[in-house]
Amino acid sequence: MSDGFPDLPQAPPIEGGIRPPKPSYEQFTRQAVFYLPVVRRGELLGYLWAAESNVKAAGFIRSIAARAAGADATSVWGRRLDTFHDRGTPALDAIRGWVGAPEDPVGGAVPPGTRERRVPSLAALHELANPGTPVSSGPLIQDGLYPDGTPVDRSAGWGPLVSVRPPSYATRTATPVLSYPVTRGGTVLGYVWASVSEDAASYLRRARADRDGEIAAGLWEARLADAFGAGVPAADAVRRLRGTPEDPLAGGIAADAQEHQATGLDELDRLARE
C-alpha cells in the first residue's frame, strides 16, 4: 500500500528479526522551516515544524525545559503527524491543521489564530527551543539531495554513481578501542568505535542486523567524516555521538549508553558477530 509519497525502496524485513520503520515524514531538512508553538496550560512544550518546500519533511522539537511534559508530548505529536502522513498530506498543511484544535491533556495545543513563523534552518529552530544544546546534522541525504545539492534521483540529471569515501579517520587499528552500541527500537544495529590512542574510528555493523546494519553505516560514517574535517580527535568524536537522537533508518546512541572498552578491534568484531 502506498504511503502517499513515492520514495526510495524500504529495506526488506529480516525474518524473525527487526522490521523497517513505519513510513513517516522525514525528520531532517536542510531547507528553511516554518514552525508553530505547542503549549499546555500556558507552558511551552515545543514546536511543530515543516520544511519550506519539501512536502515530506515535518516533525516536533520538544523543549527540554518542559522536562517530562515535553517528552510525553513528543509521542502525541509523532502519532498525529503519522496520521496526516498516511493520508498523503503535505508537511506544511499537516502542521497548520492543528492550529486551534482542542488542547490535549498530554500533547497540548497550538493556540487559535497562531500563524507559523520561519527560521532559516532546522538547527536555528533547535537553538530557539533549547539554546546551547548539541544538534544532530542528520543523514547524508536530506530533501532528496546530497549535501552538495546533487539529487538522489538520477532522472534529475545526476551522472554515473561513483562511491568515494570522504576524508576520515583510519578504519583499522591495533590499539585498544572504545565503542558505543547503535540501536533502533531497542535492537543493536552496530557499533561506533574509536582507538583510545590513535586517530582511527569507524562504524562496525552487527552481523545479525544484516541489511539494516549496513544501511545505518552511511550516516555514522558521514558523522565521523564531519568530525574528522573539524579536527576532532577520534575518541572525542565518538564520545560526542552519545545521546544522538534515533534516526528512522540509522538508529541512535542512547544518552545513557555505556562506553565499552576492548583490547582491540578483534574483540569488538567478535562482539558484533554474536
Q: State the Cα–Cα distance between residues 191 and 175, nearest whole angstrom.
A: 17
Counting beta carbons within 10 angstroms of the beta carbon of residue 14, is it exposed (0 to 12), middle (13 to 18) or buried (19 or more)?
A: middle
Q: What φ, ψ does residue 129 adopt, rounded to 5°?
A: -75, -40
pLDDT recorded at residue 20: 58
Kindly report the pTM of this predicted structure: 0.54
Q: Specify whether the backbone of 245 is left (phi greater than 0), alpha (psi in -120 to 50) or beta.
A: beta
Taking a C-beta distance cutoff of 8 angstroms, is the pair 38, 48 a contact?
yes
- Locus of grid cell 549535501: 147
Q: What percentage of the chain reaches a pLDDT higher than 70?
A: 88
pLDDT recorded at residue 164: 57
Q: State the Cα–Cα distance between residues 144 and 51, nearest whole angstrom.
A: 13
pLDDT recorded at residue 97: 93
Q: State the Cα–Cα distance between residues 183 and 192, nearest whole angstrom.
A: 11
pLDDT recorded at residue 1: 42
Q: Mean of the pLDDT values across residues 132-156?
A: 80
Question: pLDDT tens digit string along 217-243?
Answer: 889 999 999 899 889 999 999 999 999
Is 50 exceeded by the pLDDT of residue 5?
Answer: no
Question: pLDDT tens digit string along 64-122?
Answer: 999 999 899 999 999 999 999 999 999 999 999 999 999 999 999 999 999 999 999 99
Q: Mean of the pLDDT values across residues 172-186?
A: 94
Is 50 exceeded by the pLDDT of residue 3?
Answer: no
Q: Which of 7, 88, 84, 6 is nearest to 48 (CA)?
A: 84
Q: State the Cα–Cα distance between residues 161 and 177, nearest whole angstrom.
A: 34
Locate the domains of the chain by residue range: 1-10+20-162, 177-273
Q: Mean of the pLDDT values across residues 42-57?
A: 95
Q: State the Cα–Cα distance between residues 60 and 37, nearest whole angstrom.
A: 10
Is 60 exceeded by the pLDDT of residue 165?
Answer: yes
Amino acid 124 reads A
Is 80 exceeded by the pLDDT of residue 193?
Answer: yes
Q: Which of 4, 101, 105 is nearest to 48 (CA)?
A: 101
Report the 10 Å Cβ neighbour count for 189. 27
